[in-house]
Copies of this chain bind each other. A is one copy, B any other.
Amino acid sequence: MPNQGENIPGYSYGAAELAPSHISLDDLERLKISAGFTEQDSNALRLAGEVLADQTEAIVHQWRSGIIASIPHLARHSRTPEGDPIPDYLAKSNLRFQQWIVDTCTKPYDQDWLNYQQEIALRHTAVKKNQTDEVRSTPYVPLSDIVAFVAVMNETIKPYLASKGHVVEEVEKMHVAWCKSMQLQMALWVRPYIEASSTSSEG
């Protein structure tokens, strides 16, 4: 059973106090069509969710400690403006990062999912970054770096999808579905970033 997130600090998926997404379910349906995201992809993601369930800690460790930590312009977003580590912040956001892998694969892409997409997007913009964990860090993560880093996540997730012995065609279907979900999620993040940029300079 994947972690359902009840014990993750700051994880507020489905919470009543979350602001409703500015993107409607109809908008989402259109975006799914734009991305070619079909029922087959939903099914492939469910299988990916089973495959990845006990690997999320290892995946996030690879992304955060194996890759981001050695890229100063990315690593700084988990540190103070002076560059000092904030271990508690990193630990909490790593737990949410792990849960996001599970949610990407297992949650229905419905109103709650849209609302939390907006929430996590805003937590990367100047509107809400640092607030959840009450830390002093960079004011925002440029969307351009997130969009770019998706390429790394897409490339590095594949061995984890292949690690449970599924045939190549099944691994490929899971990977295609994962990559489509990434584009869908980045598409959903554009509007919160554009709206946030009206009050600050980011991108």
Report which A residues bind B (CB closer than 8 A): 30-37, 67, 71, 73-74, 142-145, 147-152, 154-155, 176, 179-180, 182-184, 186-188, 190-191, 193-195, 197-198, 202-203
Contact = CB atoms under 8 A, between A and B. Distances in A.
A147 B187 contact: yes
Contacts of A142: 190
Contacts of A150: 183
A59 B25 CA distance: 31
This chain's copy number in the assembly = 2
Given A36-B152, A155-B36, A184-B151, A143 B190 contact: yes
A197 B198 CA distance: 9
A172 to B, nearest CB: 9
Q: Is the interface of A mostly helix, strand, loop or mixed?
A: helix
A9 B9 CA distance: 55
A142 B188 CA distance: 11
Contacts of A154: 179
A154 B148 CA distance: 15
Contacts of A152: 34-36
Given A31-B144, A35-B148, A203 B191 contact: yes
B151 A73 contact: no
